[in-house]
Structures are given as structure tokens and as C-alpha cells.
Structure 1
Amino acid sequence: MRRVAILALALAVAAPLAMPVLGQDSLPPAPYAYTELPDPAQEAQALHLMQTIRCLTCQSQSVADSDAQMAGDMRHLIRTRIAAGETPDQVRDWLVERYGDYISYEPTVSAITWPLFAGPVVLVLLGAVILYGRLGRRRRQAGEGGQ
């Protein structure tokens, strides 16, 4: 009897928490999630931008390629903002500001990301210096041994 009461109490507490999750699946897709913009130039800009924005649900697909509801909402958002006159760069900046640098497949150099861009260059230069030093030492040793 006590187990039944505990189970009933747990269900009574858990059921209201599950309701918002159940409601998410029944929402219709955003209007511009699957509908192209009437202006072909704006639609081309939107598509190009969508291919460079990462789906936050899938994380391995762009919002243009993903069928996730979040990707549909982001496609709608991108098309709506471009239709309102914003440039793709303005929309990208807004998305990066809202979701962080991770959302963009086209990273930008900033105060936080510059080491990621400078690191490979420094490593190549360091390798060249080491290689030059070793080759120079071999030449000197070969020159001294031949005399």
C-alpha cells in the first residue's frame, strides 16, 4: 500500500513536468522554415548563410541540411531577418552574439580566438628554424670533415 502511494505521488509530481516537452512536438514549423523567400537574391543570401550556421541540435550539420525543429526555427529566423533588410553579416553577428562563436562554420579572429589562428603559423616557423639549424650544422660538420 505504501509503495502504491509513493508511486502515485511520484507520478503526480512528474506528470506536470512532462507536459511542456509533449507540447513541443505538436508545434507547427515556423513559416519560413521550409518556404523560400519571394525575392531570389534574398533567398540566395539566406541559403548561403544557412549553410555556414551550425545546427545546435545536430552539431554536425548546418541548419540548411538539418531536419531538426531547432534548425527549422533558425532557417525561419534567418529568412525573416534577411527579408527585413539585414545583411547576412548582420544576421551572422547577431547569431554569434546570441549563441557564441561555436554556431558559425566560418570562424573569425577575435581576442579569444587569435591563438588558434596564430598557433599553426608559429609551429611552422619553429619547425623551419629547427630544420635550418640542423641542416646548417650538418653542412658545417661536412665542411670540417672534408678538410
Structure 2
Amino acid sequence: MKRLALALALIAGPAFAVQPDEMLSDPALEARAREISKGLRCLVCRNESIDESNASLARDLRILLRERLSAGDNDTEAVDYIVARYGEYVLLNPTTGGANWLLWAAGPLMLLLGGGLAWGYLRSRAPAAPESRLTADEEERLHQILED
């Protein structure tokens, strides 16, 4: 029986991350808070949303989000407030604007740069094409050979 309880606790652990005392009385507002919190990263767990994390910082972020929504913020304003306070790292899906364009483009640019350098290196290592022009002596000798 203990093993069954442990297995259920491990499987359903993230489902119980949001505590009853955190939940809002308005079901529509609570649904908004749950939807927004799925896109916010737990700063302790790294790749878990605050909705799934049992860390105390995730709990604080869930409470802060619900406070902002209760104060009348729309979804964007609430997320912007949390991002302004904790940095863009708190977003599970970072934006592609501003300085992040450099990060998004760095991989393909480095691949193109490396390919260009490899092509240039291999091109410089290729043997030079032989000179196709014959000197006057060689042309005369060739005519003698062909006439015989």
C-alpha cells in the first residue's frame, strides 16, 4: 500500500503544486491564472512551469500572479510585471525581439560562417590548374609528331 501511495504521489506531484489556499474564488480568474502560469518558468526548477513546481519561489510567483490578476491587470500586464521584476528568463517561451534576435540567428550564422571557411580552405588546398598554353617550341614539336 505504501508503494502505491508513493507511486501516485510521484505521478500526481505536479498536479498538486497549486495549493488550495492559493486558488482564487472566481473560477474564471483562476482559469486565467492557471493558463498564464503554464508559460512562466520556475526559477528554481529551471524547466518546469510555476504551475507544476512545488518550490517555494514558484508558490510566491503563483501568488504574485493571482494578486496582479485580482488587482485588475490583464494577462499581458501581469506577465510584463513579473518579467520586469524577475527578468525575461522567467518566460518558458522567450521572445524573438530585441537582443534575442542575435541569439536566435547565431546558430545559423555560425554554420554559414564555418561552411564558408571550410570551402575557402579546401579551395586553397586544391592543386592549381596546369597552364594550357604551349610554347612555340612545344607547338613545333607537336606538329612534327602529328605529321609523322
Q: Is the 2:41–2:92 Cα contact (8 Å) retained in structure 1? A: yes
- Residue 74 in structure 1 maps to residue 61 in structure 2: yes
Structure 2 unmatched runs, 5+:
1-18, 124-148
- The structure 1 residue matched to 2:78, chosen from 91, 99, 104, is 91
Question: 1:130, CA displacement in angstroms?
Answer: 7.9
Q: Is the 2:24–2:30 Cα contact (8 Å) retained in structure 1? A: no
- The structure 2 residue matched to 1:116, chosen from 91, 94, 103, is 103
- Residue 46 in structure 1 maps to residue 33 in structure 2: yes
- What is the percentage of aligned positions where both structures have the same residue? 35
Structure 1 unmatched runs, 5+:
1-28, 138-147
Secondary structure, in 3 states, of the residue corresponding to 1:49?
helix
Question: 1:50, CA displacement in angstroms?
Answer: 0.5
What is the rounded CA distance, in whole Å, between the counterparts of 1:114 and 1:47 in structure 2?
29
Residue pairs, 1:1-147, within 5 angstroms: 31=21, 33-35=22-24, 37-39=26-28, 42-108=29-95, 109-111=97-99, 113-123=100-110, 125-126=112-113
| Structure having the higher Rg | 2
TM-score under structure 2 length normalisation: 0.55
Quote the RMSD (CA, aligned, Å). 3.4
Aligned pairs, number? 112
Compared CA separation, residues 89 and 132, structure 1 to 2 (3 A): farther
TM-score under structure 1 length normalisation: 0.55
Q: Is the 1:37–1:83 Cα contact (8 Å) retained in structure 2? A: no
Q: Which residue of 2 aligns with 1:10?
A: none
